[in-house]
Chains A and B, each alone.
Chain A
Amino acid sequence: MTDSANAYLSLAETTGHDDPRWAFGSGFEQQDAAEVASPVPDGVAAADLAAYCLMLGDDALLAGHRLTEWVSNAPELEEEVALANIALDLLGQARVLLARAGHVEGAGRDEDTLAYLRTEAEFRHVALAEQPDDLDFGRCVARLLVFSTWRLALLHRLLGSADPVLAAVAGKGVKEVAYHRDHAARWTLRLGDGTPESHRRMQAALEWVWPFVDELFRPSDEERRLAAAGVAVDPAQVRAEFDAVLHEVLVRATLTRPDRPGIGPVAGRGGRQGLHTEKLGPLLAEMQSVARQHPGATW
Chain B
Amino acid sequence: MVSAAAARAAAAAVVDPEMPMLTIADLGILREVTERGGAVSVTITPTYSGCPAVDAIRADVRAALAAAGFAAVEVRTVLAPPWSTDWITEDGRRKLAAAGVAPPGPAAPRPAGPVPLTLVPPASAVRCPRCGAADTVELSRFGPTACTALRRCRACAEPFEHVKEL
Q: At the interface, yes or no: B39 with Cβ under 8 Å from chain A? A: no
Interface residues on B, range: 35 or more
A221 to B20: give the CA distance in the assembly, Å: 48
B81's nearest neighbour on chain A, judged by CB, is A171
Q: A29-B55, A85-B146, A89-B146 are in contact. Are A34 and B82 (CB under 8 A)?
A: no
Q: At the interface, yes or no: B88 with Cβ under 8 Å from chain A? A: no
Q: At the interface, yes or no: A245 with Cβ under 8 Å from chain B? A: yes
A181 to B15: give the CA distance in the assembly, Å: 32
Within A171-192, which residues are at the interface with B (CB < 8 Å)? 171-176, 178-179, 181-183, 185-186, 189
Name B's interface SS: loop
B140 contact from A21, A82, A92, A93, Cβ within 8 A: A82
A285 to B122: give the CA distance in the assembly, Å: 43
Contacts of A33 in B (CB 8 A): 77-79
How many A residues, CB 8 Å from partner? 58
A152 to B15: give the CA distance in the assembly, Å: 33
Q: At the interface, yes or no: A227 with Cβ under 8 Å from chain B? A: no
Choose, from A1-9, A133-141, A274-282, the stretch at the interface.
A1-9
Q: A78-B140, A179-B141 are in contact. Are A185 and B49 (CB under 8 A)?
A: no
B107's nearest neighbour on chain A, judged by CB, is A175
Choose, from A121-129, A162-170, A212-220, A259-267, the stretch at the interface.
A162-170
Q: At the interface, yes or no: A243 with Cβ under 8 Å from chain B? A: no
Inter-chain contact count A-B, CB under 8 Å? 139
B144's nearest neighbour on chain A, judged by CB, is A81
In contact, A20 and B59 (Cβ under 8 angstroms): yes
26 contacts between A and B (CB under 8 A): A1-B59, A4-B14, A4-B20, A4-B64, A7-B56, A11-B17, A19-B63, A22-B54, A28-B55, A33-B77, A34-B43, A34-B78, A78-B140, A82-B141, A85-B146, A92-B51, A153-B114, A169-B49, A169-B79, A171-B79, A171-B80, A172-B83, A174-B115, A178-B115, A248-B119, A252-B119
Across the A-B interface, the 3 shortest Cβ-Cβ residue pairs: A92-B50, A92-B49, A88-B50
Binding site for A on B (CB under 8 A): 14-15, 17-18, 20, 43, 46, 48-56, 58-60, 63-64, 67, 76-83, 110, 114-115, 117-119, 139-144, 146, 150, 166
Binding site for B on A (CB under 8 A): 1, 4-7, 10-11, 15, 19-22, 28-29, 32-35, 78, 81-82, 85-86, 88-93, 95-96, 152-153, 156, 164-165, 167-169, 171-176, 178-179, 181-183, 185-186, 189, 241, 245, 248-249, 252
